[in-house]
Every structure is written in C-alpha cells, then in structure tokens.
Amino acid sequence: MLASLARVVAVTLKEMIQLKRDRFTFGMILGIPVMQLLLFGYAINADPKQLPTALVSRDPGQVERSIVGALERSGYFRVVAQVTGEPEVERLIAAGDVAFVVTIPDGFTRDLLKGERAQILIEADATDPAATSNAVAALNQLPRSALRHDLPALATEPAFDVVIHRRYNPEGLTAYNIVPGLLGVILTMTMVLMTSLAVTRETERGTMENLLAMPLRPAEVMAGKILPYIVIGYAQVGVVLVAARYLFAVPMLGSLGLLTLALLAFLLANLAVGLTFSAIARNQLQAMQMTFFFFLPSMLLSGFMFPFRGMPGWAQGIGEVLPLTHFLRIVRGILLKGNGAIEIWPEVWPLLAFAAIAWTVAILRYRRTLD
Amino acid sequence: MSDLAIDVEGLTKRFGARTVVDNVSLKIPAGEVWGFLGPNGSGKTTTIRMLCGLLKPDGGHGTCLGLDILTQAEAIKRQVGYMTQRFSFYEDLTVRENLDFVARLYALPNRREQVERTMQRVGLSDRRSQLAGSLSGGWKQRLALAACMMHAPKLLLLDEPTAGVDPQARREFWEQIHALAREGVTVLVSTHYMDEAERCDRIAYIAYGKLLAVGTVEEVVAGARLSTWVATGPGRDKIATMLAKAPGIGTAVFGPSLHVSSADPAALRRAIEPLMGDPHVTWRETTASLEDVFIHLIQDATVAQAKEAQDRAA
Ligand SMILES: Nc1ncnc2c1ncn2[C@@H]1O[C@H](COP(=O)(O)OP(=O)(O)OP(=O)(O)O)[C@@H](O)[C@H]1O
Ligand SMILES: [Mg+2]
C-alpha cells in the first residue's frame, strides 16, 4: 500500500517536471481561462446603453411623445428610425440595424384614456441576450415613468401593458449565467485534453514500453497522472472565481466549500473521460480529436450555449448524460441561488455515476501490454 | 525454484497472419550470460518482450525466475531489468531525474545515494543536469543500461545494449556483465556483434522467428558441420561475386580474405576448383568462424522460408 503510494508519487513528480518543462502546454493551461474570461467577460461586463431602436407609431400625439421620452430617459434606448410598414421593421431587425422595435398601436391613447387594455409592443433582438437583457428589464418601469409628468392621474397603477417579444432566443439568458458556466467549460476542455494527451504522449514517444516493463499497476499510473491535473483544475477555478467576483461582480451566495467538493466529482468525471480517450487513441492527434468530439456536445447541449429547456427531447437526453450539464446547474445553483448540499444532490449523483462508469472503462481499456 | 532463470516452451507470437516468433523454447540456467542473435526482424525483441510480460504469447508457456510468464508478469517485472532497444526514458527529464524516477518506482532504499552512485559508476555525473534528450546516442544507451540495473535485478534482458556504443565503453560494459554473472545474475543480451557473441557462455540464434541453433560458440560451429575455405588476394571480390548465386554456398569477407563455406564439402570443392587457377588468389582450408555459420544458417532459413511460402500459395 505504502509502496503503491510511493509509485503514484513518483509518477506525479515526473508529470509535474514534464509539465513545467513544456512551456507551451503550461501557458495554455493558464491562458485558456484568462482568454475565455476576457472574451466572454466583455459580453457580460458591457451593460450596453443607447441601443438603436425603431419606432412604429400608429397613434401620434402627446402620449406617444411621453413614451418615447421615457424610453430615451432610461438610457437604454435611442430612437434611430421612424418606420411605418411591417416589411421595413423586419428588414431593420433582421439586419441588426436596430435592437428594438417599439410599436404603439392604432388607438392607443383612446384605449388608455378609457382604461381598456392598452398595449405597446416591444420586439427585442435577443440573439445576443446579454446585450439586451438589461434594457428589457428597464421596460418594467416604463408605464409609470412615461405618464408621471404628462398624465399623472393614470400613472398610479400600470395603465398599460408592455408586451415584450424576445426575438430569436425566447428564454433570454442572463449575464450571470455565463461566468459560472465558463468554469465548467474551461475545466471540461483542459482536463479532458490534458489527461488524454498525458498517456498518449507516452505511447507516441515510446516511453510506454519502459513504463510497462516496470512494476507499476495501471491504477497507479492513472492516479499519478491525474493528480497534477486536479491541482491545475483547482488553480483554474481560483482564477475564474476571482475574476468573476472582482471583474464581473458575479454574486456568490452559496458555500465555496460545497462548490470545492462538488468540483471534485466534476473533475474526476472529466479526468476519467480523458484517460479513456488516451487508452483508445493511438496518437496525440487522435486524442485531441476525441476531446473535441466530447467537448462540442458538452458546449452545445449542456445549457451553456442554448437554454436547456429550449432543446428538443433527444438533445436534452444527451445533455443529461454529460457532466457539464449537471455541473452548470450545481455551480449556478450554489453561486447565484445560494443552494446547499440538499438542493444540489440531484445533480451531484449523476456526476458520480458518470465518473464511476468512465473510470471503469478507463481501467479496463488501459493497455497492460504492447499488443 | 529450479536453477533455470528462463524456462519457456513453444513461445509463439503472431501479428495478424504473420508468425513472428515460432515455437521458441529456451532454457537458460541461472548465472549464465546468453547472447541472442539473428538478422533484423527475426523476432529477438518480440521474444524478449514476451519474456517480461510486455506481449501476450499466442502459444507456449513457461517461467522467468520461477514465475509464470502468463499469470505472474507483475512479480516478474520487479525482479527483471529490461533495457529496450529504442531509448525509452524521458527525453524531457534530466539524467538525474530519470534515475530518480526509476529509483522511486522500485522503492530503493537510500534513493539519493543510489542515484549518485549509479551516475558515478557509468560516468554520467558531469551530465546529471543535462536533459536525456540532448545526450549523444552512446550516452543514452549508458543511461538506459544504468537505469535498468539500478534495482539489482536477478535477470537482465538487454535488447542491443551496445548499439552505437564506443569500443572502450563496450569493453567496460562486458566486464560489468561478467561481474554481475559471477554474482549469480542471469543475462540475455541481443546483439549483432560477433565479438560480443563470443563473450557469451552460450548463444541462441533465431531467424524468421525460429530458433535455429543453441549452445556454446564451439557447439554451434561444430553443429553446422561446415567446410570452409579462405581465399586471400586481390581477386577475392571477383570470386565473391561469382559465387554469390551458387546454391548452398555462403561467402563472407574478412579484411583481405574471403571465407567460402558450405555444408556439402563435395559441392564446395566442385564450385571452387575451377577458380583455383587464378594466380592472384591463394586458397587454403580452415575451420568455420561463427560468422560463417550464421551466414550459412540464414541462407538455409531463407530457402526454407521461400519454400514454405510457395507451398502455402500452392
Ligand atoms: N507491434 C507489431 N505489429 C506488427 N508487427 C510487428 C510488431 N512488432 C514487431 N513486428 C514484426 O515482427 C518481426 C520481428 O520483429 P522484432 O522487433 O522482434 O525483430 P528483431 O529480431 O528484434 O529485429 P532487430 O534486430 O531489427 O531489432 C518484424 O518483422 C516486425 O516487423
Ligand atoms: Mg530488436
């Protein structure tokens, strides 16, 4: 047992030295999180204002002017076009020339004064929800602020409804979703890639023959090889969380200790996937291709890119299998909702189950001979 | 445990349809130094890999150090030192780090000291901080050799340990091998050098995966029953070309002379008699050397192999 531990340590130390010498890989490990954070962070941090807005007014007059004034006072909207026809509206929003189209329907003032279901329609281009969500949120205040000055009698209660159509992306992700989600995406990418390369590298360079000739058990090699990556994984988590907190002011309501524990399950699941790939792949290129084969569905079907509930059933089915899906729910739950152990457990056990199966496959597929 | 360090019967290995090692049996007594010879691709490396559990045999069974090669590979690995033909230590680790890694894996006591001593013994102390990948070929061999001997194995399987090593280092290597053998270590070493073969207690010769000869150098030479003539003089190259096609006759150049051998003395005489008139060449009969025997063995094996292939095709 002690000897076994010593062998694991030997492999770990060797991996660390190799990693240290491999400047490129090392740089990539720290570079990926920083780069992704900066790229995605921009979309989050920017709380864009003065968004181009088209106005379709079928009821010109005092009320119309009040509403437009209120929209512009909120800071988020800037009316750049006055249009009349439906085709023109479509063209503007499809081309991305405007982010919003505000339609004040025929007879709006009349309905308002009569107290009858007056509505204005706001269509938002939600392809980039991070860009429009704050503006959409500001619309809640619109009925009150629009009428406060000009028709104070009507401003006491919501005098008219603002009907919001989010175009192209009905669920509208919120900005805070992204940074915690990024944590899972970065870990999936680096953990699977690094481990799958770590073993294939030995096969490719011929050092596997020596390793196999020495008294090392498969489990010892695997444990020794993944230990450095667990450390690296946590380092990446640290980088992302610090950035999330201080650069992007992401709320952290739940326990970071709980997150650390849940992370371990997620890391183990991904490391096992990497080891399985390395046992199947014949060379580093194949290992890399397999990693992307795993990474793409993780990215697309986990709820990181697209809202999970918006996906068709079969896609959700695949998504439910992937570790990233569950981890996203865990990390968003802990950070944003302040979830505790009981709330996240339904998402933790699928991770553990996945890890157990992947580890079994990895150990079974590990080559004990050169055949 | 018997006093046989290696005792295997009928080892066979196939890659796809090709039989690469064919029914090889070896009985190597403990404490002996055996040379493993044979042309390129004859199956030496494959045989050695089966002995230390790196390849699963498709047929045959046996023991290494009294441990079953099929079921006790792990225990075998602890007591065997295997030096791979191709350098397979870590090129991105320094000399010292490589040795340290091995020492840790075998849980050697006084690790640091052992590593230091090993480096001193093989003259690597000055290069301790050099990356293994930047060592010259011969130094890589020395590092690999030192690493596989560090845990004091009872059986050494060395696959061409002296390929690319200078004569001085080769001599030191063989002195070390014999010193280890005196302490009871068994050594199986593959090589292409005749002088190294002659330093072994016994040799095993393999071609096309079949073991063709086993024994001391004298036994192997005697067993071939070769009749050999030496032709000396400036005309020897012409003779070599003329005899190249003759069936059952092997030729080998040694410095200024040419060895011509055959298992059939009468046929050999018939072939060379017409050439004896050449005044630029002098002829005399001699005893066959080990190299003559190997050339003869490989020629026979090639003919047999071709015939076998023909039979299979028919
Ligand atoms: N993994 C493999 N897959 C397929 N064929 C193989 C494999 N390993 C070896 N061979 C084939 O088996 C044969 C014997 O190879 P082996 O390496 O044992 O020869 P060798 O006697 O060590 O030769 P050399 O003197 O060149 O080192 C060769 O023809 C080789 O091509
Ligand atoms: Mg070989």
What pLDDT shows up at residue A169? 43
Judge residue B137's burial from the number of C-beta atoms within 10 Å of its C-beta, 0-12 exposed, 13-18 middle, 19 or more buried.
exposed
- CB–CB contact A215 B78 (8 Å): yes
Q: Which residues of chain B make contact with A210, given a CB cutoff of 8 A?
A: 82, 84, 88-89
pLDDT greater than 50 at residue B62? yes
Contact by Cβ (8 Å): A195, A222: no
Decide the pairing of beta strands A100-104 and A118-125.
antiparallel
Distance between CA atoms of B139 and B169, rounded to whole angstroms? 10
Cβ pair A14:B84 closer than 8 A: no
Q: How would residue A110 be classed by pLDDT, with cut points 50, 70 and 90? A: confident
In angstroms, rounded to a whole number, what is the distance separating the alpha carbons of residues B163 and B207? 20
| B129 and B83 fall within a common domain | yes
CA of B42 to the centre of ligand 1 (A): 7
| Res A263 pLDDT > 80 | yes
Contacts of B270 (CB under 8 A, 6+ apart): none
Domains of chain A are 51-167 (3.40.1710.10), 174-365 (no CATH)
Closest to B243 in 3D by CA, of B230, B260, B256, B228: B260
CA torsion A308→A312→A318→A321, rounded to 10°? 40
pLDDT confidence band for A164 (50 / 70 / 90):
low
Is the confidence at residue B147, as pLDDT, over 60?
yes
Residue B222 has what pLDDT? 93
| Nearest ligand to the CA atom of B20 | 1
Check whether residue B191 and residue B84 sit in a common domain.
Answer: yes
Interface contacts A/B by beta carbons within 8 Å: 71
State residue A45's pLDDT score: 47
Token duo for residue A322: 């992937």
At A7, give phi and psi (nearest 5°). Answer: -70, -40
Please tell me the predicted confidence (pLDDT) of residue A288: 92
- Alpha carbon distances (Å) from A206 to A30, A200, B83: 28, 10, 13
- On chain A, the residues whose CB falls within 8 A of the CB of B52 are 213
Q: What is the pLDDT of residues A78-106, one digit of tens each?
A: 888 888 777 888 777 776 678 888 888 88
Question: Which residues on chain B are in Cβ contact (under 8 Å) with A1?
Answer: none
The shortest C-alpha distance from A225 to chain B (Å) reads 14
**Residue with CA closest to ligand 1 atom 19:** B41
Give the strand pairing for B202-207 and B210-215.
antiparallel
pLDDT score of A182: 86
Does residue B1 register a pLDDT over 80?
Answer: no
Which range is most confident: A192-201, A252-261, B40-49? B40-49
The alpha-helical segments, DSSP class H, found in A161-214 are 178-205, 207-213
Q: What is the DSSP string of chain B?
A: --SEEEEEEEEEEEETTEEEEEEEEEEEETT-EEEEE--TTSSHHHHHHHHTTSS--SEEEEEETTEETTT-HHHHHHHEEEE-SS--S-TTSBHHHHHHHHHHHTT-SSHHHHHHHHHHHTT-GGGTTSBGGGS-HHHHHHHHHHHHHTT--SEEEEESTTTT--HHHHHHHHHHHHHHHHTT-EEEEE-S-HHHHTTSSEEEEEETTEEEEEE-HHHHHHHHT-EEEEEESTTHHHHHHHHTTSTTEEEEEETTEEEEEES-HHHHHHHHGGGGG-TT-EEEEEPPPHHHHHHHHHHHHHHHHHHHHHHHH-
Give the mean pLDDT of chain B: 92
Same domain, B49 and B176: yes
pLDDT score, position A124 = 79
Mean pLDDT of A47-69: 80
Cα(B291) to centroid of ligand 2, in Å?
A: 19
Indicate if B137 and B80 belong to the same structural domain. Answer: yes
* Residue ranges in chain A assigned as alpha helix (H): 2-21, 23-45, 62-73, 86-95, 108-114, 129-138, 142-147, 178-205, 207-213, 218-246, 256-280, 284-301, 313-321, 323-332, 341-365
Is B190 found in the same domain as B141? yes
Q: How far apart are CA B180 and CA B33, in angstroms?
A: 10
Counted domains in chain B: 2
Read off the pLDDT of each residue in A332-354 and give the average, rounded to a whole number. Answer: 89
Question: For residue A240, what is the DSSP state?
Answer: H
Atom of ligand 1 nearest to the CA of B48: 18
- Measured between CB atoms, which of B53, B78, B90 is closest to A207? B90
Q: Are residues B267 and B168 in the same domain?
A: no
Average pLDDT for chain A: 82
CB-ligand 1 contact for B86 (6 Å cutoff)? no
Nearest to A84 by CA among A59, A117, A118, A65: A59
The pLDDT, as a whole number, for residue A176 is 65
Same domain, B88 and B163: yes
Q: What is the pLDDT of residues A16-52, one digit of tens each?
A: 999 889 888 778 777 878 787 777 766 554 456 778 8
Q: What is the pLDDT of residue B210?
A: 94
Backbone φ, ψ for residue A195 (5° rounding): -70, -40
What mean pLDDT is predicted for residues B186-200? 95
CA dist B18 and B99 (Å) reads: 38
Over residues B108-118, mean pLDDT: 94
B92 and B227 part of one domain: no
Residue for token pair 């001193």: B120
C-beta atoms of A370 and B54 within 8 A: yes
Residue in this structure with the two tokens 């004040």, named with its chain if needed: A104
To test ligand 1's pocket by mutation, which of B36, B37, B44, B206 has the most ligand atoms within 8 angstroms of CB? B44
Does ipTM top 0.95? no
Alpha-carbon Rg for chain A in angstroms: 27
Q: What stretch of H or E contains A78?
A: strand A77-83
Q: Does A5 touch chain B (CB under 8 A)?
A: no
CB contact under 8 A, B77 and A213: yes
Q: Which of A97-101, A306-310, B204-208 has the lowest mean pLDDT?
A: A306-310
How far is Cα A37 from Cα A28, in angstroms, rounded to an integer? 14
**Chain B residues closer than 8 Å to A209 by CB:** 54, 84, 86, 88
B31, B127: one domain: yes
Q: Are strands B249-254 and B67-68 parallel, antiparallel or unpaired?
A: unpaired
Flag whether pLDDT at B226 surpasses 60. Answer: yes
A310 band by pLDDT with thresholds 50, 70 and 90? low
**What pLDDT was estimated at residue B88?**
95
**Whether residue B291 is found in the same domain as residue B194:** no
* Of B274, B280, B279, B282, nearest in space to B229 by CA: B282
Residue A95 sits at the chain B interface (C-beta within 8 Å)? no
Same domain assignment for residues B103 and B42:
yes
Predicted local distance difference test score (pLDDT) of residue A173: 42
Nearest to A251 by CA among A337, A318, A167: A337
- For B123, the domain range is 4-215
Average the pLDDT over each of A112-121, A197-206, B91-100, B134-143 and give the range with the smallest value.
A112-121
B61/B8 Cα distance (integer angstroms): 6
Residues 73-92 in B contacting A (C-alpha not used; CB under 8 Å): 73-74, 77-78, 80, 82, 84, 86-92
Mutate to test the interface with B, among A20, A214, A221 (most CBs of B within 10 A): A214
**Interchain pair B88, A209: CB under 8 A:** yes
Please indicate whether, in this complex, the C-beta atoms of A17 and B86 are within 8 angstroms of each other.
Answer: no
Q: Evaluate if residue A229 carries a pLDDT over 50.
A: yes
Asked if B260 and B300 sit in the same domain, the reply is: yes
CA of A209 to the centre of ligand 2 (A): 13
Which of helix, strand or coil describes residue A118?
strand
Chain B CA closest to residue A224? B105
Coil, helix or strand for A303? Answer: coil
- CA B49–ligand 2 middle distance (angstroms): 10
Q: What is the CATH number of the domain that holds B133?
A: 3.40.50.300
**In this structure, are residues A319 and A310 in contact, taking their beta carbons and an 8 Å threshold?**
no
Q: Which of B52, B87, B107 sits opposite A213 (nearest CB)?
A: B52
The pair of structure tokens assigned to A61 is 């007059």
Minimal-distance CA residue to ligand 1 atom 22: B45
Considering B215, B233, B259, which residue would you say is the last residue of a domain? B215
CA terminus-to-terminus distance, chain A: 29
Burial of B307 by CB count in 10 Å (0-12 exposed, 13-18 middle, 19+ buried)? exposed
